[in-house]
Amino acid sequence: MTQSIGHAQTQDRGTPIRVTLPPPGERSDEQLLDDYRHGDRAAFTQLVSRYQRELYHFLVRFLGNRAAAEDVFQETFLQVHQSAEQFDPTRRFRPWLFTISANKARDLIRSQARRPANPLQATISPGDDESGEFIDLMQSTVELPSSPMEKREMQEMVHNTVSGMPEHLREILLLSYFHQFPYKQIGEILDIPLGTVKSRLHAAVAHFADRWKATTEKKRTNPSRMPA
């Protein structure tokens, strides 16, 4: 991948997402943005490079479409460029970046006539190890798969379960379980109070658990028809 706004990383399988942190001794995100504001163009390129994997994965999960994720990735960093002078240096860059990205992703979804046909398919699908975060939610109700075939089947079931979740519940699961934002930063990204973050995340987990229970029960009674 080239380090520009025009291309986001397209490799999204096989390695769990990690929180983006600057290597020891390198400038922080906030320092890079401040340096860019003062004329250091390379600092902006470094920011794009630093977040090209994590942010792109978030968008693919959110939108379920790589081309759409590419577009929103570009739009996000274009907004960063345009709003750099207004950035509050006392704030953290990462939640600010995800706030911009989540808003643009929601705008795209709302501008479409219907929900994407396969939300989250690029990350929760057969052969994709990155669905482990959601599998963690299921450990109390079903044994984890022991063979590759069982694992692929479970991942497809997870995809089918998550794909039917309402947008506001899906996005909070992504931010909390996949990207491990603390409650306070999730509230900043989604522009909701801390109490709403907690109640919405609880509702999202409960919603997933209910759907997953129904899915696994259906599989036991109709094994030949699963996954749907």
Q: Is residue 24 part of a domain?
A: no
In a domain, 2, yes or no: no
Query: Is 144 found in the same domain as 59?
Result: no
CATH code of residue 84: 1.10.1740.10
- pLDDT at position 223 is 60
Distance CA 28, CA 5 (A): 20
Distance CA 103, CA 191 (A): 10
Distant-in-sequence, close-in-space partners of 122: CB < 8 Å, separation ≥ 6: 12, 60, 61, 64, 65, 66, 69
CB atoms within 10 A of CB 100: 20
Q: Distance from CA of residue 87 to its chain's centroid? A: 23
- Residue pair 208/161 in contact (Cβ under 8 Å)? The answer is yes
Q: Is 25 helix (H, G, I), strand (E, B) or coil?
A: coil
Residues 176, 211: one domain? yes
Last residue of a domain, one of 76, 111, 146: 111
The closest alpha carbon to 26, from 49, 60, 55, 52, belongs to 49
Distance CA 42, CA 227 (A): 48
41 with 93, same domain? yes
Judge if 70 and 157 occupy the same domain: no
What's the pLDDT at 13?
Answer: 35
Residue 81: inside a domain, yes or no? yes
C-alpha to C-alpha distance for 213 and 140, rounded to whole angstroms: 11
Residue 51 has a pLDDT of 93
Q: Which one-letter amino acid corresponds to residue 37?
A: R
22 domain residue, yes or no = no
Per-residue pLDDT of the chain (228 residues; tens, 9 = 90+): 333 444 444 343 333 445 555 666 789 999 999 999 999 989 999 999 999 999 998 888 888 788 888 999 999 999 999 999 999 888 899 999 999 999 999 888 888 644 444 333 333 323 434 433 343 443 334 444 556 666 677 777 776 677 678 888 988 888 887 788 888 889 989 999 999 998 998 898 888 888 888 877 777 777 655 544
What tokens were used for 63? 């939108």
Which amino acid makes up residue 226?
Answer: M
Q: Looking at the structure, tell me whether residues 180 and 213 fall in a common domain.
A: yes
Instruction: Tell whether 75 is covered by a domain.
Output: yes
Same domain assignment for residues 164 and 196: yes
User: Where among 111, 138, 161 does a domain terminate?
Assistant: 111
Q: Give the count of alpha carbons within 13 A of 188, CB side only.
A: 15
Domain span at residue 192 reads 129-225
Q: How many domains, the chain? A: 2
Least Cα distance to 108 among 161, 155, 70 occurs for 70
Q: Using CA atoms, how far apart are residues 138 and 30, in angstroms rounded to an integer? A: 38
Please list, residue by residue across 122-131, b when 16 or more beta carbons sit within 10 angstroms of its beta carbon and e when fewer do: bbbbbebebb
